[in-house]
């Protein structure tokens, strides 16, 4: 039978061995973390950030390679392929910062036949899912030219990783960082055109020469939009559908944009939103010509006489985003804009 002294000595020895093992593991872990942290993917990029004058994003759609270019204009950046429409400052900032902070985690395959699994195949190959990021400086020199592929989330909630390779190097890597690779042009655009909460809307007037004017007003007590002047012989088909029309300006976003070149047509729908604090926003539609026959929106804003400075500033900000531009709002929004009193209501059923 074990005596008490032996048990105590055995426990102390176990504790010493455990502490020693922990210290060795901690030292190794610290060295690993330190080495990885110092091993930046783009070690000189931080010192060159101010000199970056062009960001090019290239991706593939089917067998076709597409790309767009972002360039600085004063304190902001514009997208060339959209006629110089402003890019989101946050997208620029997060991309550049994310690239500077990327660190190597693990060397992966250099076999091009295995790039598909990592979404790093050459963009010339049909079906490639890679995104290429190219940064150029003032002198036109390429500072970064790299492919980014599949993103790997950290299951413990830490920093995510992404598969990466230099464009002309088959060697792939798993790298860690908060970089969000934005391959779609909409991810770079300032897409929000209007953000007017329903509670502010005094009335929304939908005009069309071929249909009676549709006027909606927000009922705060019932938390819904009502159709003004609705005949007693008709009733609303769907409250949700009316709400869907009334809330168009709550989060009106663009799906495409270009410099304005069309003239709004009087035979197409126009809408005026008036808020209870003096903001008036007008949207008019113009039909494209030729192969692109989409309906493009022209948007203007003004503040009426009694409006406070906050509303005046809001109107100015809206105009700064929309003046000189026309916007494709997407099929769903166009459908909602073209709803009528007749389409939103039905004859009352007999009691």
Is 10 inside any structural domain? Answer: no
Pair (178, 270) in one structural domain = no
For 13, counting Cβ atoms within 10 Å of its Cβ (0-12 exposed, 13-18 middle, 19+ buried), the class is exposed
HEC string of the chain equals CCCHHHHHHHHHHHHHHHHHHHHHHHHHHHHHHHHHHHCECCCCCHHHHHHEEEEEEEEEECCEEEEEEEEEECCEEEEHHHCCEEECHHHHHHHHHHHHHCEEEEECCCCHHHHHHHCCCCCCCCCCCCEEEEEEECCCCEEEEEEEEEEECCCCCCCCEEEEEECCCCCCEEEECCCCCCCCHHHCECCEEECCCHHHEEEEEEEECCEEEEEEEEECCCCEEEECCCCCCEEECCHHHHHHHHCHHHCEECCEEEECCCCCCCCCCEEEEEECCCEEEEEEEEECCCCCCCEEEEEEEEECCCCCHHHHHHHHHHHHHHCCEEEECCHHHHHHHCCCHHHHEEECCCC
Residue among 330, 191, 187, 325 at smallest CA distance from 258: 325
Q: Check if the beta carbon of residue 102 is closer than 8 Å to that of residue 164.
A: yes
Does 285 share its domain with 255? yes
Residue pLDDT, tens place only, 94-125: 999 999 999 999 999 999 999 999 999 999 99
Q: Does the residue 32 lie in any domain? A: no
Structure-derived torsion over alpha carbons of residues 142, 143, 145, 151, reported in degrees to the nearest 10: -160
**323 contacts: CB under 8 Å, gap ≥ 6:** 300
Kindly state whether residues 129 and 240 are assigned to the same domain: no
Number of domains in the chain: 2
Q: Are residues 181 and 54 in the same domain?
A: yes
289 vs 262, 292, 298, 323, 330, CA distance in Å? 9, 6, 16, 21, 17
Of 282, 278, 273, nearest to 313 by C-alpha is 278
Together in a domain, 107 and 204: no
Give the count of beta carbons closer than 10 Å to the beta carbon of residue 82: 20
Tokens matching residue 144: 């970064």
Same domain, 70 and 158: yes
Which residue in 207, 177, 191, 203 sits closest to 37, CA to CA? 177
Q: Residue count of the chain, please give it.
A: 351
Indicate whether 114 and 173 sit together in one domain.
yes
Residue 96's φ and ψ, nearest 5 degrees, are -65, -45
Give the end of a domain, one of 141, 165, 187: 187
User: Based on the domain organization, do 61 and 146 belong to the same domain?
Assistant: yes
Within-domain flag for 54: yes
Q: Domain for residue 35, yes or no?
A: no
Residues 129 and 234 in one domain: no
What are 164's strand-pairing partners? 148, 173
Q: Are residues 160 and 65 part of one domain?
A: yes
Considering the domain boundaries, does residue 16 fall inside one?
Answer: no
Do 250 and 144 share a structural domain? no
Residues 270 and 320 in one domain: yes
Q: What is the mean pLDDT of the chain?
A: 90
Per-residue model confidence as pLDDT tens for the chain (351 residues): 456 665 565 566 565 556 655 555 544 444 444 444 458 999 999 999 999 999 999 998 766 889 999 999 988 999 999 999 999 999 999 999 999 999 999 999 999 999 999 999 999 999 999 999 999 999 999 999 999 999 999 888 889 999 999 999 999 999 999 999 999 999 999 999 999 999 999 999 999 998 999 999 999 999 999 999 999 999 999 999 999 999 999 999 999 999 999 999 999 999 999 999 999 999 999 999 888 899 999 999 999 988 999 999 999 999 999 999 999 999 999 999 999 999 999 998 866
Asked if 180 and 162 count as a contact pair (C-beta separation under 8 A), the reply is no
Q: Is residue 1 part of a domain?
A: no
The domain of 275 spans: 192-347
Q: What global pTM score does this model have?
A: 0.82
Note whether 172 and 163 are within 8 A (CB). Answer: yes
- Whether residue 31 is contained in a domain is answered as no
Domain end point (choices 187, 211, 240)? 187
Distances 202 to 106, 116, 212, 225, 245 between C-alpha atoms, Å: 59, 55, 20, 10, 14
Q: Is residue 15 part of a domain?
A: no
Domain boundary (187, 222, 253) is at 187
């Amino acid at each position: 039978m074990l005596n008490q002294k032996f048990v105590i000595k055995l426990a102390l020895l176990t504790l010493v061995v455990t502490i020693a093992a922990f210290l060795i593991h901690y030292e190794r872990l610290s060295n690993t973390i330190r080495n990885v942290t110092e091993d930046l993917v783009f070690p000189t990029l931080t010192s060159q950030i101010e000199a970056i004058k062009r960001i090019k994003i290239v991706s593939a759609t089917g067998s076709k390679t597409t790309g767009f270019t972002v360039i600085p204009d004063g304190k902001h950046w514009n997208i060339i392929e959209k006629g110089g429409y402003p890019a989101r400052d946050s997208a620029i900032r997060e991309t550049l910062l994310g690239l500077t902070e990327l660190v190597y985690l693990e060397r992966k395959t250099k076999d091009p036949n295995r790039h598909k699994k990592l979404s790093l195949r050459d963009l010339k190959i049909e079906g490639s899912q890679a995104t290429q990021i190219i940064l150029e400086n003032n002198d036109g020199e390429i500072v970064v030219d790299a492919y980014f592929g599949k993103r790997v989330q950290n299951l413990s909630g830490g920093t995510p990783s992404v598969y990466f390779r230099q464009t002309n190097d088959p060697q792939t890597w798993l790298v860690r960082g908060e970089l969000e690779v934005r391959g779609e042009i909409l991810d770079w655009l300032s897409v929000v055109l209007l953000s007017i909460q329903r509670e502010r809307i005094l009335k929304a007037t939908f005009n069309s020469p071929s249909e009676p004017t549709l006027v909606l007003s927000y009922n705060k007590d019932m938390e819904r939009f009502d159709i003004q002047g609705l005949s007693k012989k008709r009733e609303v088909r769907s409250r949700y559908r009316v709400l869907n029309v009334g809330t168009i300006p709550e989060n009106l976003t663009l799906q495409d944009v270009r410099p304005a070149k069309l003239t709004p047509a009087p035979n197409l729908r126009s809408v005026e939103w008036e808020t209870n604090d003096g903001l008036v926003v007008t949207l008019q539609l113009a039909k494209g010509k030729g192969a692109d026959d989409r309906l493009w929106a022209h948007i203007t804003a003004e503040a009426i006489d009694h409006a406070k400075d906050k509303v005046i500033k809001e109107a100015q900000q809206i105009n700064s985003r929309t003046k000189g531009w026309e916007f494709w709002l997407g099929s769903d929004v166009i459908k909602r804009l073209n709803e009528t009193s007749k389409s939103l209501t039905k004859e009352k059923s007999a009691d």
